[in-house]
Structure 1
């Protein structure tokens, strides 16, 4: 008798099944890899090529869509699968939460047949991201078995709402505190600009991971503390891309492009995030068009942020029409973010008609799209249009409410701002800031003070906003009282007082404020030194000004701006130090502007300089 067909033999079937499982496993890994790298088209091709995709394939592909912001495709794939498991449900829920589709996420959560702790924590994360304290607390009460992840999400949620006191209260009450929880509290202080509190938490941590080091580094960097950032970076046990990118963002934000480029060149293996940071910095800097285009052409991976940066580059360079051509002809895929970038670029250029055309051309609208068109109409004074768009939104998050509130505030509509604020379902730090700003914008400092008293929590941002308002109005006595009462006087507060004193001719007070700041251990920045120099100039203390100017590099590790040279030249000019003034101007690494040459004119230097100064001043 002939032997049974080899394809029906058990050992053959077993080998084929193992090969098929191995191929699916490798395909799943490839889908995951391309998804993380933003190559969603390649991930999709591999997924479609699978003869027998398993539930892991589905979960990985949904996550890949989510990471690339393709929620609609993730939802379509989910709906096509007959028997999703709990992991699949959670993957889809997480995708909705990550993209800010909170209402849909809530409806989806209610449909999950077998919710586990991951499901509950994902939905809690949604409430935390929205910043709705009441719903966050209400949902937390319903959780069946809160774990350390749950408590950590609560810390993060309170931090997002600006309720650092509640975040600390939750942390203190946690039955178990792991390094993730410690880092969440550290990040809470970082997000709300409590640098000193962040440092206390960092020093108290029993164990620090690289994430903890990066959180502290971020706290220093986002607050502009360059010296502390550099020092911490040097003392870190090791660096990853987050560390390098943090330092890159710091120097990009300070406009120190030479240092930023040097850091970028040192990154062992930069990724798309660090590349985008560098690209964005180049696109927003003057005379960096070609460098930005060169970097863009060298980038092996590009995402929506990369293309958005190039669109920004064209529009900031006055080439909006070329940027739009680039958008329509060269971009491989038009993401919602790229559409929004084009909206914002036309809004900034005052092309309101084009903004409205683009908005109606968009295949999909995000909350950011609605917010962009509200802002565009607001900037052109078309508040009726802004209000119409706002009321027509299918759903509104807290950001949308705040955008409309800020539109009223910046256009001086105090009553409308107050009425909208009272009708809001909830408030966060930005809401209170906009309302207080509405009073300040209309010159109602008494009303701003009343709002300040009603604040649920007074962070340094609010203290400084009120301080700036009184200082700029010339009410320096009340400004000084606010400054003295402020519980955490940061560098911005010291600089505000010094600016007020120098602006209104109180040079002695400006100089005293500068020295008091240094005695309290505060590190001066360029603005601090500038107002100290202006104070010396008012008082005719040219020697004091010279010592302070020289201390910039020697003591404070600061590079003088052209403004420092201008004030110093004027001080020398007033003291008839013609030779010293000319020598200073000749040595500075800037081309003299009107103010600098005005300082030389004061000292009656040679006719050539005087004529040039007069010409620039007249023009």
Structure 2
């Protein structure tokens, strides 16, 4: 009898191994005829057979027929439901089990992960440990995967400690799980430590490391990891090649670059991506759709749409993902028309756009400022997710349609879509842009309700919003309550203090940030240089400059521009130009600052010369450029040149002059005494009722003693700015300079009758003893 049972058991095991259900059913019939059903071992094998062959109904029927169920019987039926993905029945079986072992817990944890319930899987794991069960390598493989998915670094670290305690720190599956947690959470130093302790890393190990390094833009490090993988003879598959390509695509995600080194790294990444592309072809993976999509993504994110188009056109098989990558690539380059054309071709080819497609289209339209088309795209979504809401809200916010962004945020809440950290941060930016304090407070309350207010991303937005609304104390309060401040929060607080003219406090906070071990970024230095510029403190500015050199931020264009601005505003125009000439990368803002610096320091000829150099270099001037160069012409008496430059705005560059441009050219004409030309221009310009224009003209009339035009300008200002004392004082000064004392007396009596009080004057000097040392030991 025992021998017969043993033979049947072996035959059943063969059926299980080969997933052969028909021979298995024949054996089941033989067991029934031979009265062997009382053997629990055979019953367990039958449950396992039906489970492995995806027949949970037969497995359950066999379980019910088992006369003496043991823990293996319960685990077998639990495994059957887990394999079938039936979480409801699996949990019911789990709860009914008279006893459990580690396999029982592992089955349930694994099933929850398969169904996307990572948090619940982690809760089950915690309960398992609490009940005294020791996890196995199978447990850790599942749990660490869940930790990585939900970015639960704290639990991942606790698991790491238990792994070492149990002695599983050399198990490759566990080590790969630990690597995945640290890499996905961005803690690459810990991942490198784990990697260094692995004796025999496999392809999963290397792929995970490359993914983690790519996440922090460590493209060269990821490629070196790939080289090591090749040297060790580890099998290269499409997944590992995709990981390298993903790293090469990372820099392109950030769009424009503000640093000479970043541009160099960008070019290197493109070259490295092309080299990996060559390897893909050499290894015969060019037909792999997943890998082809990675190649498309790499080229698209690096802005090389020609190569992306070539790959796309040669794909034997495309997917919705392929189309989405192409649409996103066109959107990133601001080619909305091509993105729309791609969407149309996608539909013609029988592919149905998904939510990612529409999100990419929203981004493409928003980048071009076409928020109306973006709105139409959004309205075509039947049930938009929070990501779609974020895309349309961001589009409105980025195009400074802040009111519409806030209205969408309200509508989102009416639709019962729960905002996430991105939603809250974007809306806070819109509230800050409108200086809409009441709305900002409501968003603050909503963030507290959603438990998002302590998130660094949201906290930074709150600090900026309150700062821009003039509530600096509230910003400081939020800053003080954030549990773990990151550099973005520090930068927001420093910028907020600067914005509210608390420049010395900003210096103190900058020093405190460094003493706490936080390294400044280019944005930290930009904010602190703005303080130096506003204080006209070249002493502190030079200190900051030295630290910028020490920390390696010299080649960042945003930092260089701030340095030029600081030296110009501190009166060291030659120092500013010396640094300007050494900058490896400049943008329009950099040129504008240098031109404006010359203008403000009375060196108009050099300002105009630099303006011409800017045009010759291929840099396109903007509205600010013309304000700077027209100011220079005005201050230096370059009237004819100023008029020609003013006229070139629209004729050569398609820029419509705005109030500031008219103010500059009127000032230029007025200072030179060309009042007839100034009046002709004022009569036909669209800003004739703006008081600033008349104030500028009145000031020029005083210099040239043009009484009739001064009287006209003053009368206009009495009407436009009835409470201002400036026109009365300027007109009285003109009369007094000509000895017309009766007219002076009449102006003063008019001021008295209208209860106009002259504003008191004041002076300001820099207290050198109050300079704040920035040196940190």
Contact 1:348 / 1:376 at 8 angstroms: preserved in 2? no
In structure 2, the CA distance between the partners of 1:302 and 1:102, relative to structure 1 (3 Å rule), is closer
In structure 2, the CA distance between the partners of 1:51 and 1:524, relative to structure 1 (3 Å rule), is farther
In 1, the alpha carbon distance for the partners of 2:528 and 2:404 equals 42
Q: Does 1:508 align with 2:620?
A: no
Which residue does the alignment assign to 2:661? 564
Q: Does 1:122 align with 2:167?
A: no
In 2, the alpha carbon distance for the partners of 1:411 and 1:217 equals 46
Contact 1:405 / 1:421 at 8 angstroms: preserved in 2? no
In 1, the alpha carbon distance for the partners of 2:637 and 2:175 equals 73
Give the root-mean-square deviation of aligned CA atoms. Answer: 5.4
Residue 480 of structure 1 and its aligned partner are, at CA, apart by 0.8
Name which one, 1 or 2, has greater alpha-carbon Rg: 2
Residue 510 of structure 1 and its aligned partner are, at CA, apart by 1.9
In structure 2, the CA distance between the partners of 1:200 and 1:307, relative to structure 1 (3 Å rule), is closer
Q: Does 1:92 align with 2:146?
A: yes
Q: Which is worse superposed, 105-114 or 137-146?
A: 137-146
Contact 1:537 / 1:567 at 8 angstroms: preserved in 2? yes
Residue 509 of structure 1 and its aligned partner are, at CA, apart by 1.9
In 1, the alpha carbon distance for the partners of 2:194 and 2:492 equals 27
In 2, the alpha carbon distance for the partners of 1:74 and 1:349 equals 44
In structure 2, the CA distance between the partners of 1:104 and 1:566, relative to structure 1 (3 Å rule), is farther
Contact 1:283 / 1:313 at 8 angstroms: preserved in 2? yes
Residue 482 of structure 1 and its aligned partner are, at CA, apart by 0.9
Q: Deviations over 1:341-397 (max 9, x none)?
A: 6964667656688x5xxxxxxxxxxxxxxxx6xx3377xxxxxxx4xx68xx5x666
Which residue does the alignment assign to 1:361? none
In 1, the alpha carbon distance for the partners of 2:59 and 2:680 equals 85
Which residue does the alignment assign to 1:79? 126
Contact 2:633 / 2:639 at 8 angstroms: preserved in 1? yes
What aligned pairs does 1:174-253 form with structure 2 within 5 A after superposition? 174-175=226-227, 178-187=244-253, 196-197=263-264, 200=267, 204=271, 205-206=273-274, 208-210=295-297, 212-214=299-301, 216=303, 238=342, 240-241=357-358, 243-247=360-364, 250=367
What aligned pairs does 1:436-585 form with structure 2 within 5 A after superposition? 437=529, 440=532, 443=537, 444-460=540-556, 461-552=558-649, 555-556=652-653, 558=655, 560-571=657-668, 575-576=674-675, 577-578=677-678, 580-585=680-685
In 2, the alpha carbon distance for the partners of 1:557 and 1:104 equals 59
Residue 89 of structure 1 and its aligned partner are, at CA, apart by 1.8
In structure 2, the CA distance between the partners of 1:322 and 1:120, relative to structure 1 (3 Å rule), is closer
2:685 aligned counterpart, secondary structure: helix
Aligned residue pairs: how many? 526
In structure 2, the CA distance between the partners of 1:185 and 1:296, relative to structure 1 (3 Å rule), is same
Which residue does the alignment assign to 1:106? 157
In structure 2, the CA distance between the partners of 1:377 and 1:293, relative to structure 1 (3 Å rule), is closer
Residue 150 of structure 1 and its aligned partner are, at CA, apart by 2.0
2:112 aligned counterpart, secondary structure: helix
Which residue does the alignment assign to 1:16? 57
Residue 489 of structure 1 and its aligned partner are, at CA, apart by 2.4
In 1, the alpha carbon distance for the partners of 2:90 and 2:439 equals 39
In 2, the alpha carbon distance for the partners of 1:352 and 1:432 equals 18
Q: Does 1:421 align with 2:548?
A: no
Which residue does the alignment assign to 1:153? 212
Q: Deviations over 1:206-253 (max 9, x none)?
A: 3652464245499xxxxxxxx9976655567947456445445646xx
Which residue does the alignment assign to 2:744? none
In structure 2, the CA distance between the partners of 1:568 and 1:121, relative to structure 1 (3 Å rule), is farther
In 2, the alpha carbon distance for the partners of 1:439 and 1:327 equals 28
Q: Deviations over 1:294-335 (max 9, x none)?
A: 67426854423446666777788787567767877x899523
Unmatched 5+ residue regions in structure 1? Answer: 1-7, 29-45, 66-72, 160-165, 219-226, 356-371, 379-385
What aligned pairs does 1:313-324 form with structure 2 within 5 A after superposition? none
Contact 2:666 / 2:696 at 8 angstroms: preserved in 1? yes
Q: Does 1:433 align with 2:525?
A: yes
Residue 511 of structure 1 and its aligned partner are, at CA, apart by 1.9
Which residue does the alignment assign to 1:303? 419
Q: Which is worse superposed, 521-530 or 593-602?
A: 593-602
Which residue does the alignment assign to 2:96? none
In 1, the alpha carbon distance for the partners of 2:425 and 2:454 equals 5
In 2, the alpha carbon distance for the partners of 1:116 and 1:546 equals 72
Q: Does 1:612 align with 2:716?
A: yes
Residue 419 of structure 1 and its aligned partner are, at CA, apart by 6.6
In 2, the alpha carbon distance for the partners of 1:464 and 1:552 equals 24
In 1, the alpha carbon distance for the partners of 2:452 and 2:426 equals 14
In 1, the alpha carbon distance for the partners of 2:512 and 2:405 equals 48
Which residue does the alignment assign to 1:275? 389
Contact 1:248 / 1:260 at 8 angstroms: preserved in 2? yes
TM-score (norm 2): 0.53
In 2, the alpha carbon distance for the partners of 1:514 and 1:95 equals 53
Q: Deviations over 1:145-174 (max 9, x none)?
A: 3525523533543x4xxxxxx755764785
Residue 21 of structure 1 and its aligned partner are, at CA, apart by 10
TM-score (norm 1): 0.65
Q: Deviations over 1:453-485 (max 9, x none)?
A: 312453313333322221221101011111111
Which residue does the alignment assign to 1:376? 477
1:209 aligned counterpart, secondary structure: helix
In 2, the alpha carbon distance for the partners of 1:291 and 1:570 equals 39
Q: Deviations over 1:108-166 (max 9, x none)?
A: 4444554243531431343458xxxx767656645663525523533543x4xxxxxx7
Residue 500 of structure 1 and its aligned partner are, at CA, apart by 1.1
Q: Deviations over 1:540-578 (max 9, x none)?
A: 445544554454455545554432343244445553314
Unmatched 5+ residue regions in structure 2? Answer: 1-42, 61-77, 94-106, 130-134, 231-240, 278-294, 306-329, 344-356, 702-707, 725-777
Which residue does the alignment assign to 2:113? 59
